[in-house]
Amino acid sequence: MKVQAVLALLVLHSITTLAQQDPQFSQYLDYNAYINPSFIVNDYELNADVQHRQQWVGFDGRPITTSANVSYEVKKAYSAFGVTYLHDQLGAQEGHNARLNYAGVIRFKGHTIAPGIYFGAMFTSLDGSQLNPIQTGDPNIISSKQEGNAFDMGLGLSYRYRGLVVGLSISHLTGQTISYPETITGAQSEITIARHYYGLVRYDFKIGRVFRLKPLSFVKTDAASAQFDQWLFFGADNLTKMLNRVNIGVGYRIDDAVMVSAELIFKWFRLGYSYDITTSGLRSYSKGSHEITLRMHLFKSGGPRAGTELE
């Protein structure tokens, strides 16, 4: 009963405040095209990844997110093109987001600058039958399942030099409002897809021939609330002929979670897993969050230091 009550508060809060938060991620923030469309430009021409996150395990109606990205850099056109799809479930809300990504590629003396843009569409549904409003017959809360959609657009910019990566982006630039009207009862719920701002910086230090250290800082805000992540990754290179690197990471999301991760990097692909230990008030209901990622990368891209941070 307590879990259901907390879920109801989360969903109803997003409706009454007319704001919808972007889904959460813990892994590989500097490769995730959903966060920044310019990240389709990196050290490889062809990239494909699938990411799945089970947040707040043990929590009834918890957020469940699955995303997929495919991108390819066309060297002669100094451009990269990609497709992103994301499915997100939070209790009574279900969302699908499909995007087309584009990024320009400017390389000179080891530096890479990539401005990016995406165009897409959001398809969402809200099942009012799963809600338990405090006031029965509230005209702002629907009682059945309704669907809505909206145009989506965002911008991104990234800079890479050797082991340094800096990224800035804005998602949901148009700030669309999605309505869920019921023709029979006249009730109508509305959710405004809030504009989100992202910032990331990280550096990959090489220590001798074997070891690496990579600090990473990440911030996300919708202007009403903010998230701050700080990571520190430790890596060891050339462990076997097949295994290029093992990365172990520990991070902290302020007022929310302690995060741990492990990553195996092979020649053509990488496999990663992370676990978030909830530190907020939800820890009484949640067993933490699990996230797994499979990423494939093929064909080295240009630049005298290409591949430094991935190998």
Per-residue pLDDT tens over the stretch 102-156: 999 999 998 999 999 999 999 998 888 777 766 666 777 888 888 889 999 999 9
Q: What is the CA radius of gyration of the chain?
A: 20
Q: What b/e sequence results for 103-128 when a residue is b if at least 16 CB atoms lie within 10 Å of its CB, and e otherwise?
A: bebebeeeebbbbbbbebebebbbbb
Cα separation of 95 and 22, whole Å? 11
- Which pLDDT band, with edges at 50, 70 and 90, does 308 fall under? very low
DSSP 24: P
Give tens-digit pLDDT for 141-200.
Answer: 888 888 889 999 999 999 999 899 999 999 999 888 888 888 777 778 888 888 999 999
Q: What would the two tokens of residue 96 be?
A: 């699908």
The CA-CA-CA angle for residues 28, 59, 134, to 5°, reads: 120
Tokens of 294: 């499979």
* Token code pair at residue 287: 């067993």
Say what the alpha-carbon torsion angle 204, 205, 211, 217 is, to the nearest 10 degrees.
Answer: -50
In this prediction, residue 166 carries a pLDDT of 97
Give CA–CA dist 21/10, Å, rounded. 11
Calpha distance 251→254 (Å, rounded): 10
Q: CB count, 10 Å around CB of 277?
A: 15
Task: Name the H helices within the chain.
Answer: 2-16
Q: In the 8-state DSSP scheme, what is residue 43?
A: S
- Domains (range + CATH), the chain: 2-300 (2.40.160.40)
- Overall average pLDDT of the 32-59 stretch: 92
